[in-house]
Structure 1
Amino acid sequence: MVPLRNQLLLGHAAEALPEVRDSELGDDTYVLDRLEQGRIAWLAGQDAGSKQAFAAADSRLAWEDEQAQYRLSRGLAQAGSLLTNDQTMAYRVPDYERTMLHHYLALNYLQRGDAEGALVEVRRANQVQEQALKTRADEVRAAKAQQEEGGDEQMRQQVSRGMPELDRLIGQVKNGFQNAYTFYFSGVLYEASGDLNDAWVDYQRGYQIAPDNLSLQVALLRLARLRGSPDELRETEKKLGRKAPPLVPSIAKNQGQLVVLFEDGLIPARREFFLPLPIATSGGDFRTFTVAVPYYDNRASDSGPLAVSVGNRHEQTSALVRLEALAAKDLQERLPGMLTRQALRLLSKEQLRRSAAKEGGDVGNILVGIFNTLSERADTRSWLTLPAQASSWQGSLPAGDIRLTLGAGSAMRELPLTIHAGQTTLVWVQRLGNRLTTRVMPL
């Protein structure tokens, strides 16, 4: 993935597309490869290919969710991983990646002018987050309980102490799946379709996760006034600590909404951390084992807001989500299960070594030792073409032709736009290196 990511950072998305693995249905990385393919095709402006790749990933995930036989095969793969490593298991798509799959499918539908299809996908994205709230806490508790019951407690403690910290990268994120970016996006779509109630619900959900985002604050104040409940308006103004602007029908009638969604950079890649551990064997002696664990550098991406200018009006986007923090938090939540498998893997490999030494003497002992060392690899797989962060800006503008100026660092772009009265225009922006990629979608 290194040359592929470098191509993207140089603005060569079309050249990066052939670098994606040519996996087949049933391969361990099939879904992950389709996610990468869909995202790169979107960046390259190849909308049909993007939709096809994302739809293939979505279809396979739906099949996996329904197949008891597939869950059994995953269990067998996990058992097989006890003699090798976690990369022998089929890639398990984290909830935050599933959410973004539906997010990009929604953008694909919008690009083709299918607002109804886009609404279906944002509903599905939000359902992923709702389901994760119900199940993820139980999974984390079960993994910790399993960790306490099985394996070598000494090994787990040593790995935990030796691993790099993730807390700085995670920041204030409470879990690895709640995404205010998608909630805000769905609220915009609902509001543009005239469904103020569902828009209100999703803006509220987004605000609970990203209370400092100005777009969400403005949207809540606007909808509180439009929904016509004085009590709701007073409560919203009190919660946000600011007054809602007055609604002047003559002005509103001649204005339209401009929404800018800004995706910045690329999500960091997992790294591999090797830790030599002296562990007491059943024979009473000590042997040094090497375990490999995935981790992220404990630092956030160097990024900032997007400057948005129209005439004499100069604004900037405000943060919605740091996907890099969700990825780090998701990894942190999965570590108990990973460490349990590491403990069981060491036991399995030690038993294999003892059997080989008994049957093959020193040669068997040496060969198994070499195998154990070479097969110990961390599972560093993840969706590596996702953005690191996302932010937004939303404002009312007079209807008519405008020239929108966008800037982030050395990356600049000017877009001629037409604002339509009573309608919303969505501008999607991605910064990679010193280049801005944009899409304009009237809602």
Structure 2
Amino acid sequence: MLRTFCIGLTLSLGLSGCAFNSVFVNYPSQIAPYKQQLNSDSPTAKITDLADNISGNDGLLYAQESGRIMQIAGDFTGSKTYYQQAIDDYQIFDDKAIVSASKLGAGASSILLNDNAIPYRGPGYERIMLHQYQAFNYLFSGDAQGALVEVRRSNELQSMEQARYQKSQKSVQDMANGTIDAQVAQLSKEAGNVTSSFLNAYSYYTTGLLHELASEPNDAFIDYRKAAQITPDNVYLQQDLVRLAKQLGMPQYDEFKRRWGEAVMPTPDQGQVVFIIERDFVPEKQSITVPFPLNGNIQSASLATYQPQRLLMNNSQIQGLGTPLTAQTIANIDALAINALKEDLPAALFRQAARIYAKYQMNRSVQSSSQRANNQVDAAAMVMQIFNVITEQADRRSWLTLPRQAQIARQFIDAGSYNVRLNSSQNVNIDVKPNRTTLIWAIETGNRTRFYSIII
């Protein structure tokens, strides 16, 4: 029986295929060296090592990370290639109408191992961000139309992901568990006013901005308004709505002017600067132990959660444009991540309960079939204990090179050259041209800030 059990264990491990890394080594520790590299002068030095994992079960995740690292480094062409691989993987998930052999294998091994054996399909907010970032790749490569295609797709996905989530929740059994209830309450507190993982004001704002830059003010107004419904206190969004309502002669103009003040319109010799500022990294998932009662005994399992986070410093300060400019938050990506985990916890709890029961039954089977030889019972029990310990890993996978927060700032100023500084960063020179927009994308990764700008 011990030999049979070991054969089954080997088969289970084999079915998990290239998922070995995350099954036995938590994902945050795998990606930590690459995040640290982003604070150096050679952020892509180890990118080949990371990209080599794209063919495995977590390939979609590694493609997202590789694309983001290349993008932060300013290699928009290389980033575009990796992001397209991730987009293609998402499409495969969408198109798969029948259970393939690989999916069946992953499902079987995940029952005995852990959720890390399931091929990674990112939560909705990651997929939305993927298309938004692909749009930035197109935009900063000079292809504004390609960028518009990507942000329109990100908008469509916000509705699709909401529908998918609602459908998935109907099929999840409601299970009472005090530890999980406490974690849900804690996650809700950490997420603050953000109540959904798939409604992203940052993506809506980006779409609106690109529509406006493409001389499509009506479409821009619609997306700015969607963003403002999610982040209603952002003064730059308010100013955009007042300005476009006046420009388009909309009936909402009087209401907006009463609420947010008169529209600020540019003079003929002015251009505008738009700052998009990304700060820090999204937090890593942590592991918690969840007790399960089973036939009078308490079994334990590991699930992922987020621990309370330190507060970020005040809004970013921009110097060098004459009057100091204060950026404001457009989206807290960490809150989207926290909500995504909270939305998945019922399904994760159900999977863990099934896994504990399967391991319990396996343990009973090993013991009952080995009663004839005490030494075989001891060996089987020891193997089973080792198996349970090494496979009890919470699924801590997530896109960890995403920013924790995004801020925006916008101002009309006289044409000319400006020496701009963001917080305590080094100065950067930008040019402003009449009736044109200078878009500055600032990415803060720990102790380093990188600037990318384009005049549109």
Fold match by TM threshold 0.5: yes
Q: What residue number does 2:217 align with?
A: 196
- Cα RMSD (Å): 2.1
Q: What residue number does 2:43 align with?
A: 13
* Secondary structure, aligned partner of 1:39: helix
Give, in whole Å, the separation in 2 of the partners of 1:235 and 1:74: 54
**Is 2:240 the partner of 1:213?**
no
User: Structure 1 pair 160/80, CA: closer, same or farther in 2 (3 Å)?
Assistant: farther
Q: What residue number does 2:288 align with?
A: 273
Give, in whole Å, the separation in 2 of the partners of 1:161 and 1:314: 44
Q: What residue number does 2:366 align with?
A: 356
Q: 1:167·1:298 contact (CA, 8 Å) conserved in 2?
A: no
The letter of the residue matching 2:195 is K
Give, in whole Å, the separation in 2 of the partners of 1:162 and 1:194: 46
CA positional deviation for 1:158: 4.8
Q: 2:399 aligns with which of 361, 379, 383?
A: 383
User: Structure 1 pair 133/266, CA: closer, same or farther in 2 (3 Å)?
Assistant: same
Give, in whole Å, the separation in 1 of the partners of 2:179 and 2:98: 36
Query: Aligned pair count?
Result: 420
User: Structure 1 pair 24/325, CA: closer, same or farther in 2 (3 Å)?
Assistant: closer
CA positional deviation for 1:213: 1.1
Q: What residue number does 2:187 align with?
A: 166
TM, length-normalised to structure 1: 0.89
User: Structure 1 pair 38/24, CA: closer, same or farther in 2 (3 Å)?
Assistant: closer
CA positional deviation for 1:128: 1.0
Q: 1:11·1:433 contact (CA, 8 Å) conserved in 2?
A: no
* Secondary structure, aligned partner of 1:177: coil
Question: Any stretches of 5+ residues in structure 2 without a counterpart?
Answer: 1-30, 372-376
Give, in whole Å, the separation in 2 of the partners of 1:168 and 1:162: 10
**Is 2:450 the partner of 1:437?**
yes
CA positional deviation for 1:159: 4.7
User: Structure 1 pair 161/217, CA: closer, same or farther in 2 (3 Å)?
Assistant: closer
* Secondary structure, aligned partner of 1:436: strand
For residues 219-298 of structure 1, the aligned pairs below 5 Å read: 219-229=240-250, 231-238=251-258, 241-245=259-263, 247=265, 252-275=267-290, 277=291, 279-281=293-295, 286-298=296-308
Q: 2:174 aligns with which of 141, 144, 147?
A: 147
**Is 2:88 the partner of 1:59?**
yes
User: Structure 1 pair 221/113, CA: closer, same or farther in 2 (3 Å)?
Assistant: same
CA positional deviation for 1:214: 1.7
CA positional deviation for 1:76: 5.2
Give, in whole Å, the separation in 2 of the partners of 1:208 and 1:72: 44
User: Structure 1 pair 24/16, CA: closer, same or farther in 2 (3 Å)?
Assistant: closer
For residues 330-341 of structure 1, the aligned pairs below 5 Å read: 330-341=340-351
Matched residues, percent identical? 31
Give, in whole Å, the separation in 1 of the partners of 2:74 and 2:99: 35
CA positional deviation for 1:301: 4.7
Give, in whole Å, the separation in 2 of the partners of 1:90 and 1:350: 25
Give, in whole Å, the separation in 1 of the partners of 2:185 and 2:229: 30
Q: 1:20·1:33 contact (CA, 8 Å) conserved in 2?
A: yes
**Is 2:45 the partner of 1:35?**
no
The letter of the residue matching 1:254 is D
User: Structure 1 pair 105/278, CA: closer, same or farther in 2 (3 Å)?
Assistant: closer
Q: What residue number does 2:22 align with?
A: none
Q: 1:265·1:389 contact (CA, 8 Å) conserved in 2?
A: yes
